[in-house]
Structures are given as structure tokens and as C-alpha cells.
Chain A
């Protein structure tokens, strides 16, 4: 009886781990889509209202939730503080919030960092072009991650179950 219970615990645990990993891939797609939405708002604010960056951060605080809201709250506080840091430094210093609290991979973070490096100091058209380029790259990432999502979720869910069974067999 104990053996059966132990075997079931192992199988369920491994299945849970597998599902958890596959959920991270699903979550990454959601987060990339959220970034696309955020950057779209940013583009609109710059294109139609020439809204300055600190005001864009305040708008983002109202229009986002969770980790992105947290990111913009910190950014807003730092740009309002006039600490003497350049915008790209403020942007990049706070990327840790996204690294630690999202499922974005290093490539996604790097791309987001590059956007921050080019914000603020160019003319409007260059600013729009920079954001459009980022949106294009982001869209490619989203398509890629969506395409991989089905396979990856199936793979990790199955791996979880099969891995659990394998461990049980080895232990028996």
C-alpha cells in the first residue's frame, strides 16, 4: 500500500512539474503580448500627443497590472527623482523586476533593454521608427513562441507523466 502511494505521489509530482514548465511557455506568450500592448500604447502617446516619457510611465501605471505595473511604478519614481541617471540606465537597472517575476527569456529581456536604450533622445520620427522596429521584432518572437507552444506544452506534460512512471519503475 505504501509503495503504491509512493508511486502515485512520484507520478503526480512529476506530472505537476511537467505541467508547470509547459505553463511557463504559455505565460511567456501572454507576457510578450502584454509587452506588445504596452509598447503600442507608448507608440500612440508619442505619435499623437508627443507625451514625455515620465508621463507615459504614469499612463502605464494606470493601464497595466501585476509585474508590469510594478516595473512602471519604480521607473516613474526614478525619473521623477532626477537622480542624475540617464533613462537607459534607469530602464536597464530595473529590468531585474521583469527577469525575476516573469517567464520572459534572456532574449526577450535583451530586446526590451534595447528599446530602452533608444528611448527619449531622438526626434519623433526616429522614436516612432525605433518602437515600430521593436514591435516587428516582438511580433516575430510572439509568432515563434506561439508556434512552439503546442509542441512544448505537449512535450513537457508527457515528459512529466513519463518521467514519473520511469522513476517509479527504476525504484521498484
Chain B
């Protein structure tokens, strides 16, 4: 299905009409934000715009289209495929992944039960983050992640919205398919938030390569161990590590001889060292490569690559 049509079908009729008039390149559309009684906002080509009734991108919020409660309610019904109950677990985590791999963040009134989040009611804020595969975006860094036909334990460090998942996805695809004399390896992906493979009904919507197995919506720590036991991967890939359980699972994976590629929120190796849980991983030199990213110039911009000793192997001058 056409990317534009695929996206438009999740909106209420009113919003569909306006967004359908947008004269933009959908590949550059990053986010669409709906807030009840607030202007419709889109993030396009790294810039924030408001949208008016004629479907023009404008900077003046007073002329922007105001999103109504009805729009949010209807949009939610289409996003959830008329089945909000089927996304209970995802709603508890604050997001839903839909066909095409787009991630829908939601916020509203949180319902607690025994001190834990049970559900979210009166959802009034929706953030649609569009999934864009950038095939080949990892080709510059790949030679640094491979040594003697083997993949090195790699940690990708990046602030939010800089494309770490995009680059991780491309690395997975390259390793799985093989490239330039490198024979493809079996890759196991633990996709806790359905961002990497963007699985819809269990099938990845993004191309993760021919030798990739995906555990969708599975907690990382449990998923890594499950994959090791069940699918015997040569490489395991996970997104956004950070919990204590994750670290224990990472150590287990590494001790089993399996290679690991992970991402983490941060700005630099020092930033990672300042986080109590992650510090040990750096100090014990568990990772053999650190890829530091930023969004200067473009999404997915690799700033530098370091080895386990902290020696810089690559630096992007952009």
C-alpha cells in the first residue's frame, strides 16, 4: 500500500482530509502530534510545523487546525484496529505499534491497581512516530564492527530521536544477509517495543534480513535468554538497554559466546559511565565497540566510534 494511504487510514475522517492535502515528501515526515483542543503539529525534516485547514505547513499556531476530542477518539479506534483491548499491554507501556511499523505514543489518565499501571483512560494525546527504514545507513560503520569474520560486542550510544534504532536495524540486516565477503550470521532480535522489526501480528514489517528471528514485545532480559536457549543465535540485538535485569542478561549472553549489539540513551561514553547500572559494562570493557551518534546534519549521523579502551577509531567531522 502507498505509504501516504497507509498512514492516512489511521486518522479520523476530518484529519484525513487535512493531512491528505499536505504537499510533502512522506519520507521526511517524522512525527504527527494530536492533542485535544490544541493545534495539529507535525515534525517534518527535523522542523516543527503547524497544519492549517487547507493542509499547509505553517509556523503561526493561531492559524492552525485545532484537534478535537472526537478526532482523537476516532483516530484511536482506527489505530487500535477497532480493538483497544488487544493492545492492553502496549497501552500500559504507553505506545502501540501499527502496521507499517509506526509507533503511536499515547497519554491520558493513568489507572493504577496496587500501585502499578493498569491502563490509560481518556487518552487525549497521541504522538505518531513514523518508521522509516534507511537501507544502507550503517554501511560506513560496519567495517568497524567486524573482526576476522566475527561481530564485535557493540554499544550504540545516542540521544533520543537521533536514529539509533534505524542504524541498529540496518546493522542487523547487514549481519543477517551478509555483505562484501562477510557470510551472514543468525541474528536474534529482542524487540521489546516493536520498534526494530515493527512486527504486526508477529511478522516484521521492516526488513531485518534472511537469518533473523524476532521475539516481539518481549522483555529484553528474558528475551535474550529465551533466544539463546531456543534459536541459537550468533548475534543478539536489543534496543535501549538500561535496567538491572538487562545487564545481568547481557553478561549471560556474552559468557555464552554469543555476540551482542545494543543501543542505549546517552551522549558519550562518559555519559554512560555516569549511570550506575551501565558503568560496570564500560569499566569491565565488555563492549568492544562504542558507536556514538548525534543528529547534526541528518538523522542517524555517526559522530565517532571507539574501541573498548576508549581509542577513537572513527570520527565524523560533520
Q: Using a CB–CB distance below 8 Å, which chain A residues touch chain B?
A: 46, 50-55, 79, 82, 84, 86-87, 119-124, 126-127
Q: Which 3 A-B pairs have the closest CB atoms?
A: A52-B83, A82-B9, A84-B13
Give the interface size class of chain B.
10 to 19
Q: Which of B78, B80, B82, B86 has the most CB of A within 10 A?
A: B82
Report whether A122 and B16 are in contact in the complex, using a CB–CB cutoff of 8 Å.
no
Report whether A87 and B77 are in contact in the complex, using a CB–CB cutoff of 8 Å.
yes
Q: Using a CB–CB distance below 8 Å, which chain B residues touch chain A?
A: 9-10, 12-13, 16, 74, 77-78, 80-86, 88, 119, 201
Could you list 26 A-B pairs, sorted by A, with CB under 8 Å?
Answer: A46-B85, A50-B88, A52-B80, A52-B81, A52-B82, A52-B86, A53-B81, A79-B81, A82-B9, A84-B74, A84-B78, A86-B77, A87-B77, A120-B77, A120-B80, A120-B82, A120-B83, A120-B84, A121-B77, A121-B82, A122-B85, A123-B84, A123-B85, A124-B88, A126-B85, A127-B85
Name A121's closest neighbour in chain B (CB-CB): B84
Report whether B84 and A86 are in contact in the complex, using a CB–CB cutoff of 8 Å.
no
Given the complex of chains A and B, what is the CA–CA distance between A55 and B200 in angstroms?
13
Secondary structure class of chain A's binding surface, majority of residues: loop
Report whether B86 and A84 are in contact in the complex, using a CB–CB cutoff of 8 Å.
no
Report whether A53 and B82 are in contact in the complex, using a CB–CB cutoff of 8 Å.
yes
A151 to chain B, nearest CB (A): 42
Given the complex of chains A and B, what is the CA–CA distance between A50 and B81 in angstroms?
12
Given the complex of chains A and B, what is the CA–CA distance between A124 and B84 in angstroms?
8
Given the complex of chains A and B, what is the CA–CA distance between A86 and B9 in angstroms?
13
A20 to chain B, nearest CB (A): 39
Report whether B13 and A51 are in contact in the complex, using a CB–CB cutoff of 8 Å.
no
A86 to chain B, nearest CB (A): 6
B77: chain A residues at CB < 8 Å are 86-87, 120-121
B12: chain A residues at CB < 8 Å are 84
A149 to chain B, nearest CB (A): 36
A46: chain B residues at CB < 8 Å are 85-86
- Known A50-B88, A122-B85; 9 more pairs at CB < 8 Å: A50-B86, A52-B83, A53-B83, A82-B10, A84-B12, A119-B82, A120-B77, A120-B85, A126-B85
Name A86's closest neighbour in chain B (CB-CB): B77
B201: chain A residues at CB < 8 Å are 55
B80: chain A residues at CB < 8 Å are 52, 120-121
A85 to chain B, nearest CB (A): 9
Given the complex of chains A and B, what is the CA–CA distance between A74 and B60 in angstroms?
45
B84: chain A residues at CB < 8 Å are 120-123
Given the complex of chains A and B, what is the CA–CA distance between A86 and B13 in angstroms?
11
Report whether A86 and B74 are in contact in the complex, using a CB–CB cutoff of 8 Å.
yes
A54 touching B85 in the complex, CB below 8 Å, given contacts A84-B13, A86-B74, A120-B77: no
Pick the residue among B9, B13, B82, B119 that contacts A54 (CB under 8 A): B82
